[in-house]
Amino acid sequence: MQIIENYINGALVAPISKKYIDNINPSKGQVYSQIPDSDHADVELAVAAAKAAFPAWSTCGIETRAHILNKIADLIDENLEELAKAESIDNGKPLSLAKSVDIPRASSNFRFYASGIQHFAAESHYMEGTAINYTKRSAVGVAGCISPWNLPLYLFSWKIAPALAAGNTVVAKPTEVTPMTAYLLSKLCIEAGLPNGVLNIVHGYGHKAGQAIVEHKDVPLISFTGGTETGKKLAATAAPMFKKLSLELGGKNPNIIFADCDFDDMLKTTLRSSFANQGQICLCGSRIFVERPIYGKFKNAFVEKVKKMKVGDPLNDQTKMGAVVSEAHMNKVLGYIKLAQGEGGTVLAGGDRVMVEGDCADGYFIAPTIIEGLSHDCRTNQEEIFGPVVTIMPFDTEDEVLAMANATSYGLAATIWTQNLKRAHRVSHQVKSGIVWVNCWLLRDLRTPFGGMKQSGVGREGGFEALRFFTEPQNVCIKL
């Protein structure tokens, strides 16, 4: 059985307590590795190493930092097969998805910020004939990066890469649910020659290792992606310490389909935006609003396609839907399907656990599920389910659909399907979400601001927004 180790001060080490947590393969329901159950003492070592490494790393120059980040990206590409398989086994996602999306995006994150830091510039403000102001942006110190289980290496690297590029050193905690690719990354960082202490990876539970990072007086900024409830806890700890906080939280995203859309394109993309990664992406469109004239046509076509989706062994090339991430999560999602039925919803497809034959007989599989007949304000349509479950609802007017789309506490992403350009702009500008996709979904340009309104988060990641977060501005005013 593989024993995962922490990566502290350039070395792979056991947790001081010698305690471990079982790591489960969700497609088999079996323990297959062990993760350090790190605590305050491990975090203390990691922060001390990161603090000691900060002066040299923050002043070594952007070319040096970019060179090492590019080297890490190259090594991720060279190890694509191994990393993708590890991600699929650890998370339950189809291997094909890990190979085509998760791992390539992880190397892109490093490469993007290796380049981004070389183009990052601070502002200057000229006061006519009086003074010139220039703003210096410096690395802040030790950054705490905490990431979730749905897109493990993809989101882990999305935080670490800008933090390191900007000259911070990092103490990172991947989720205890899917720790494997972060562990493999630590080996690649050693191979890439990342100086000791620049990146430290501490594995373990959120309430122990994660909390210790957030509480640590020498960690002045925290970047977190995960559930909204956890985000609230983090904010409650960090706010009185006046830490910089970036929070990417949950979503309950509307997918708004107008009758004039390109139907085939919309249908194909809606399958993906509903069920990619078993619906476990904070950007998935879980509430589908369809303009009444095409509601029936959409419903029939969508149900037919969804019933044909193959759920099964994630390592099988034909599999479109793998396992959800854990037994607890499976039960949570199944509980929401029951709730939806209790609230008067009709299950049009799926609705149950799928029992897969063979090696995956004990895995945590759920059939892709479509529910209709619910009001937009019931719990099923208000709470983040984060699984392969969508609801469909008809609408008659733009005002009506906007009111329903905006009537949640979340505001992360929205998708709009229409061929009417004016309407596309009008609706985009009125929908309360940080990200709007028109006639597409999850089409990503890493330069764009990424994040949510309302309870979907605080701040924006991506592009220069992340580099601004990971630097401290100082304005210098010189009288002429």
Which region, judged by CB under 6 A, interacts with ligand LM24SWP5, from 13-21, 264-272, 276-284, 359-367? 276-284
CA distances from 398 to 52, 403, 426, 438 (A): 57, 9, 10, 15
Residues from 108 through 167 that contact ligand LM24SWP5 (CB under 6 A): 148, 150-151, 155, 158
Token pair of 461 as six digits: 């990641």
Separation between Cα atoms, residue 214 and residue 256, nearest integer Å: 38
Residues from 206 through 225 that contact ligand LM24SWP5 (CB under 6 A): 225
Is 398 tagged catalytic? no
Which of 51, 272, 299, 444 is close enough to bind ligand LM24SWP5 by CB under 6 A?
Answer: 444
Token pair of 332 as six digits: 């949570």
Element (H, E) at 34: strand 30-36
Q: Regarding beta strands 369-372 and 346-349, do their DSSP bridges make them parallel or antiparallel, or are they unpaired?
A: antiparallel
Residue type, 33: S
Which of 119, 125, 207, 308 is close enough to bind ligand NAI by CB under 6 A?
Answer: 207
The single-letter DSSP state of residue 304 is: H
Find the shortest distance in angstroms from Cβ 290 to ligand NAI: 25
Token pair of 357 as six digits: 């034959």
Give the contacts of 274 (CB within 8 A, at least 6 positions apart).
255, 284, 285, 286, 288, 306, 368, 388, 390
Find the shortest distance in angstroms from Cβ 366 to ligand LM24SWP5: 18
226 touching ligand NAI, by CB under 6 A: yes
Which of 230, 255, 277, 319 is close enough to bind ligand NAI by CB under 6 A?
Answer: 230
Token pair of 213 as six digits: 């990072």
Which of ligand NAI, ligand LM24SWP5, none does residue 411 bind (CB under 5 to 8 Å by kind)?
none
Which region, judged by CB under 6 A, interacts with ligand NAI, from 190-198, 227-235, 284-292, 347-355? 227-235
Separation between Cα atoms, residue 139 and residue 389, nearest integer Å: 42
Q: Regarding beta strands 453-454 and 353-354, do their DSSP bridges make them parallel or antiparallel, or are they unpaired?
A: unpaired
Which of 50, 146, 276, 330 is close enough to bind ligand NAI by CB under 6 A?
Answer: 146
Helix (H, G, I), strand (E, B) or coil at 152: helix
Cα 286–Cα 287–Cα 289 angle in degrees, nearest 5:
140
282 touching ligand LM24SWP5, by CB under 6 A: yes
- Active-site hit among 5, 248, 291, 372: 248
Nearer to ligand LM24SWP5, 224 or 417 (CB): 224
Nearer to ligand LM24SWP5, 6 or 280 (CB): 280
Nearer to ligand LM24SWP5, 49 or 249 (CB): 249
Which of 26, 116, 141, 210 is close enough to bind ligand NAI by CB under 6 A?
Answer: 210
Which region, judged by CB under 6 A, interacts with ligand NAI, from 192-200, 219-227, 363-371, 425-433? 219-227
248 touching ligand LM24SWP5, by CB under 6 A: yes
**Residue closest to 317 by CA, chosen among 84, 3, 69:** 84
Q: Which residues pair with 223 in a beta bridge?
A: 145, 246
Residues from 282 through 301 that contact ligand NAI (CB under 6 A): 282
Concatenating the DSSP letter of every residue in 136-147 gives: EEEE-SEEEEE-
Nearer to ligand NAI, 248 or 291 (CB): 248
Site string for ligand NAI, 236-255 (x = CB under 6 A): -------------xx-----
Query: Is 276 within 8 Å of 94 (Cβ atoms)?
Result: no
Residue type, 187: K
Separation between Cα atoms, residue 464 and residue 460, nearest integer Å: 10
Which of 283, 371, 392, 431 is close enough to bind ligand LM24SWP5 by CB under 6 A?
Answer: 283
Find the shortest distance in angstroms from Cβ 457 to ligand NAI: 8
Distance from the Cα of residue 426 to its chain's centroid: 28
Find the shortest distance in angstroms from Cβ 206 to ligand NAI: 2
107: number of Cβ within 10 Å: 23
Concatenating the DSSP letter of every residue in 179-195 gives: -HHHHHHHHHHHHHTPP
Chain residue whose CB lies nearest ligand LM24SWP5: 282
Which of ligand NAI, ligand LM24SWP5, none does residue 444 bind (CB under 5 to 8 Å by kind)?
ligand LM24SWP5
Produce one character per residue of 269-285: b if its CB has 16 or more CB atoms within 10 Å, e if not: bbbebbbbbbbbbbbbb
Residues that bind ligand NAI (CB under 6 A): 146-150, 173, 175-177, 205-207, 210-211, 214, 225-227, 230, 233-234, 249-250, 282, 329, 332, 384, 386
Residues that bind ligand LM24SWP5 (CB under 6 A): 148, 150-151, 155, 158, 225, 248, 281-283, 444, 450
Residues forming the active site: 248
